[in-house]
């Protein structure tokens, strides 16, 4: 696997919590510099923006875009046009059309574009997908609830257009579901609870089905206090599969199959290195399409909840 030099665009909470440890654990990845008008990292060259970083470091071959969603398209496109491989934090864009354009640009430039659905790299996901592959699903229950004050402290962009609100974590659940369920599934109903001073929902109740008539229910909520709930339960052919703790714990019919430490971002960077080495892209828009359907098809209900 070839080594590559990386530039980080955005130095927020997700970078400090997840990207930096994963980069340090990826021998082929060498972090060269960062671009962020408000933050920097010790002992690394820091720049106000992407273009300045790339101008100063022509040896950078890849960039990770970790900025708020509405900023990612312009930054990713600029990097691709300069021949850089690009990793996009989830979701890969604020709209489907943005992502589709980035796919076309990456193909034209002959570089790799990677939509980083990190939850798909949770320890139990691949085994769950394998087990479900030849089964008929009857019922799916998804519960993805957390405290927004813990996971997005002071991040006002999440309540603005393109910020996605509770779908920012909820799309992680959808990224797992679209990966492991053996049939495509389609939205039937969506109830979106939107705070009176926000543009995106603080909670959502979704109902889906698949071509075989499975019942698929998802509940997303940003108002939970205490530990998060990141669980899904799938009834199939008389058996039950439970993927909990964000995909770290897998049980089938009350038998513990996997219970492992979360190392999703290490998996992401290992995969990014593979894609760069082969100059291939990997951009699945299925989770983002499900969110777009929810906004298009959903019923928006105002709430007195007030976002500070």
Q: What is the CATH number of the domain that holds 195?
A: 3.30.360.10
| Contact predicate 29/61, CB 8 Å | no
pLDDT at 153: 87
Same domain, 108 and 131: no
Between 302 and 39, the more confident residue is 39
Same domain, 111 and 131: no
Instruction: With respect to residue 204, please indicate whether it lies within any of the assigned structural domains.
Output: yes
Residue 49, in any domain of the structure: yes
Residues 175-190, mean pLDDT to the nearest whole number: 97
Write out the catalytic residue numbers. Answer: 90
Task: Name the domain boundary from 99, 115, 131.
Answer: 115
Average pLDDT (36-62) is 97
Are 230 and 144 found together in one domain? yes
Of the residues 115, 141, 162, the one at which a domain ends: 115
**CB of 209 closer than 8 Å to CB of 177:** no
Q: Whole-prediction pTM value?
A: 0.95
Q: Are 64 and 160 found together in one domain?
A: no
Q: Say yes or no: 141 and 245 in one domain.
A: yes
Beta-carbon contacts of residue 1 (< 8 Å; ≥ 6 apart): 28, 273, 274, 277
- Among 69, 88, 115, the domain boundary falls at 115
The backbone torsions φ and ψ at residue 151, rounded to the nearest 5 degrees and listed phi first, read: -95, -20
The confidence score (pLDDT) of residue 77 equals 98
Domain range holding 161? 119-261+292-303
Q: Are residues 126 and 9 in the same domain?
A: no
DSSP at 10: -
- Which residue is listed with tokens 């934090």? 89
The mean of the pLDDT values for the chain is 95
Number of separate domains in the chain: 2
> For residues 77 and 102, is the Cβ–Cβ distance under 8 A?
yes
> DSSP label at 17?
I
Indicate the pLDDT class of residue 155, thresholds 50, 70 and 90.
Answer: confident
Q: Are 73 and 96 in contact (CB under 8 A)?
A: no
Q: Is the pLDDT of residue 290 over 90?
A: yes
Percent of the chain residues past pLDDT 90, beyond the cut: 92
Q: What is the pLDDT of residue 239?
A: 97
Q: Report residue 285 as tokens.
A: 């828009």
Which of 125, 85, 130, 117 lies closest to 268, judged by CA? 117
One domain for residues 126 and 34 = no
């Amino acid at each position: 696997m070839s080594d590559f030099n990386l530039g980080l665009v955005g130095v927020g909470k997700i970078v400090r919590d997840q990207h930096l440890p994963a980069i340090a654990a990826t021998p082929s990845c060498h972090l060269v510099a960062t671009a962020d008008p408000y933050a920097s990292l010790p002992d690394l060259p820091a720049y106000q923006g992407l273009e300045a970083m790339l101008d100063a470091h022509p040896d950078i071959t890849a960039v990770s875009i970790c900025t708020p969603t509405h900023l990612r398209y312009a930054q990713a496109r600029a990097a691709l046009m300069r021949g850089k491989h690009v990793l996009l934090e989830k979701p890969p864009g604020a709209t489907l059309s943005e992502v589709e354009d980035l796919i076309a640009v990456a193909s034209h430039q002959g570089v790799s574009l990677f939509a980083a659905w990190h939850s798909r790299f949770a320890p139990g996901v691949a085994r769950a997908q394998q087990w479900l592959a030849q089964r008929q699903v009857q019922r799916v229950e998804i519960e993805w609830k957390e405290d927004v004050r813990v996971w997005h402290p002071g991040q006002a962009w999440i309540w603005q257009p393109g910020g996605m609100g509770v779908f920012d974590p909820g799309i992680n659940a959808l990224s797992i579901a679209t990966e492991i369920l053996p049939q495509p599934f389609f939205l039937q109903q969506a109830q979106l609870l939107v705070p009176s001073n926000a543009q995106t929902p603080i909670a959502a109740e979704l109902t889906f089905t698949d071509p075989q008539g499975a019942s698929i229910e998802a509940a997303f909520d940003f108002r939970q206090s205490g530990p998060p709930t990141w669980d899904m339960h799938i009834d199939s052919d008389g058996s039950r599969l439970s993927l909990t703790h964000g995909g770290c714990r897998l049980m089938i019919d009350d038998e513990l199959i996997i219970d492992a430490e979360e190392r999703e971002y290490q998996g992401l960077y290992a995969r990014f290195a593979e894609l760069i080495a082969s100059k291939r892209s990997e951009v699945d828009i299925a989770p983002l399409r499900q969110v777009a359907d929810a906004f298009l098809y959903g019923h928006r209900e105002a709430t007195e909840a007030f976002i500070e």
